[in-house]
Structure 1
């Protein structure tokens, strides 16, 4: 398997912060779950036998109120079926697009103390992920 990513690198996060902060953003999330969640020693869920998917569900449950409070919503969600264009060894379990009113809302969410507790579930759940920021565009009936 190629390199794996759970959290942004300092360079990538700085690039995110350098983009405009006053316009809506879409965040594409690609998720690959661990077979067995890996919680840190001493965490309330350590050793409970949860799958990665179950730990991610806990992340959704505990982060959801904060996500909604800052104005976030899910605009698309899907379950992976097959790689059409891309490396044969790359697969994902789930994907979704989260919409935020602006990047300030995203920063507000990740700085929230309750979110920082919730995100431990995300880290425990995932063996690999991608988080990619897009500027929303118009939908339509063509590719251009």
Structure 2
């Protein structure tokens, strides 16, 4: 049975919190959408019949102003095509890299009450995801 991930584990989040908070970060996001979004009973969007992709779009629309306010921006976005190295069954619908001026900005975003309301759409949208922090490095014309 494949394990699915929507929210961070306590151990992973503690490791994230222990890293420096005063330097730029890149967050790799890999997304696999539900066929139909799964909202909690009684949520305003629960009976709309949205796909997971549509629910994620709602998350982006609601969280975007907060993301931009804390200094976030998308530095790369792509649509999944195939796995070259890795498990053959691994499938993602979308991926992107979000840049934050520092980890403190990320914490500011996730603590925002409006963001916390918006994230319900993300949870409803996804069957699986990955969120991986990287320290940005210089680009170039080689792999090393």
Q: Secondary structure at the match of 1:32?
A: strand
Q: Does 1:86 align with 2:122?
A: no
TM-score between both structures, scaled by the size of structure 1: 0.99
**Can you give the 5+ residue segments of structure 1 that lack an aligned partner in the other structure?**
none
Q: Secondary structure at the match of 1:11?
A: helix
**Can you give the 5+ residue segments of structure 2 that lack an aligned partner in the other structure?**
none
- Once residues 90 and 47 of structure 2 are traced to their aligned partners in structure 1, the CA distance between those partners, rounded to angstroms, is 29
Superposed, which structure 2 residues align to 1:28-67 within 5 Å?
A: 28-67=28-67
Post-superposition Cα deviations, 1:24-58, rounded to whole Å, max 9, x if no partner, equal 00000000000000000010000210000000000
Q: How many residues align?
A: 144
TM-score between both structures, scaled by the size of structure 2: 0.99
Q: Does 1:100 align with 2:66?
A: no
- Once residues 128 and 71 of structure 2 are traced to their aligned partners in structure 1, the CA distance between those partners, rounded to angstroms, is 26
- 4+ long deviations beyond 6 Å: none
**Residue aligning to 1:22:** 22
